[in-house]
Structure 1
C-alpha cells in the first residue's frame, strides 16, 4: 500500500535516534575521587530499594545519568521511498570508545539537515536521549547544534518527537519499555536481546561493542515500527530494511 503524500511530508526530515550508554568508568573504584563521593551521596537515597553495595549500584545504574555515564553508541534511522512509493528504512550506528569523537561525528550528521526542518524521534527521548546528548556534548565542550538547543524552551516549543510521550496520552507518570510497547502493539519484531541496564556490563566485562551496536540497530527498527503503528501508517517490510554498520 502506497503511503499518502501527507505521511511522506511529515516523515521526510525525521531522524530516528537511540543512544546506548554505559557507566563512565569500568568500575566505581576507578572513578575520580570527587565523582566517587558524589555518587556515594546520590545512592544513599536509594540503597533501601536494593541491598547493593555502592559499587554495584554504580555498575547497574550509573549509565542512566549523564553526570556519571557516557555514550558509546548512537543508532540512527531514516525513511525514504522508491519510485513506486514503497517505504524503506536505512539504519546505521555510530560507535566509538572515545565519546568526544562519537558526539562530534553525530553533530556532523545532524548539521547536514536544515535546523528548522529536522525533527528527531526517540523512545523516552525528551527525558533521556535528548538531554543526555546535550549534557555530554557540553562536558566535551562541543557547541550544541541548533536543533538541540533546548534549554529554557517550553515543552510545546520543542519539535522533536517521543513515542513514549505519544503512548502516554498525557499520563506523564506512565513508563513503558520500547520492547513491551512493540509486544502490546503485536508488531512482528524479534524481542530486543539486551536491556539498558545490561549495556554497561556487556561493554566493559565482555568487550561487547559489536553486541551494543546490534542492540542499537535493533532498537531503531523497533522504534520506527512502533512510531508508524502509532501514526496508523504502514509498517516497513523487513526486506526493505537496510542495516549498515
Structure 2
C-alpha cells in the first residue's frame, strides 16, 4: 500500500501477513524428517511462503493468493510436504487481513492431501467470484530441479493440470477449523494489534484450557493456563506493546482438541 509511505528501517511501517499454518497447534511447522530428500518440501527458488498474486473488487477489497506448505497434507508417498494455494482478503488497503482459506480444499475432485498446488494467479477484477488459475500435480516441486533430487525424480515425465476455478468472494476469510463440538475461538480484535488485543473463547461445557502465542518461527512468547472455566464466553487480553512486529499464532487447547489462529502485531 503506497499510502503507507516508506519503511523507516525498523519494521514499523509494513504488515507481514502470510505464513504456513500450524494446523495441529503444536507451535511448530511439521515436515518430514526421513532424510530421503534434500529438502522436506519442493523448491521453487524462493522461501516456504511465496508467489503472491492479487485482484481487487469494486469496493476496494483486495483478494490475494499465495503458496505455502500445507501441514495437514499426507507426506508418506513422497517424503515431502505438499504446497497448497491459499487466499485471504483485506478491505482496508492491506492493514488487516482475513484468515487464510486453502483454495485446493474447496475444489472438488481428486485428493487434496496428495496434490501440489502452486503458481496461483488471481484475475485483476473481482466480482461476486474471484477467478484463480494455478498448476496442480501429484508430487512436490517440479521437473526443472537439480538432477537427482526428489523434486526432479518425482516430477520428470509426469503431467500437470492447469486448473481454472471460481472462488466465492463471500467465503474467503471464513475459517471452518476454528470451532469444534466443545468450544470456539474468535479472531483477535483489533487485528493488527497495536498495544493490546483480545480473543473470545466460547465454551459449551466447563473446561480447562491452555492458551499460547508463538511467533512466526514457532517460539512461544506467551502462555497461560486457565483451569475449571464455566461454560460461556471467556476473554483473553494480550498486552503486545513490547512484542516485535510481525505474524503470530495463538492456540487454545482443551483436553480434547486444539484450535490455532493467526494474528498480526504492529
TM superposition score category, shorter chain reference: under 0.3
Greater helix fraction, Structure 1 or Structure 2: 1
Greater strand fraction, Structure 1 or Structure 2: 2
Q: TM-score w.r.t. structure 2 length?
A: 0.24
Higher Cα radius of gyration: 2
Highest RCO, 1 vs 2 (Cα 8 Å, sep ≥ 6): 1
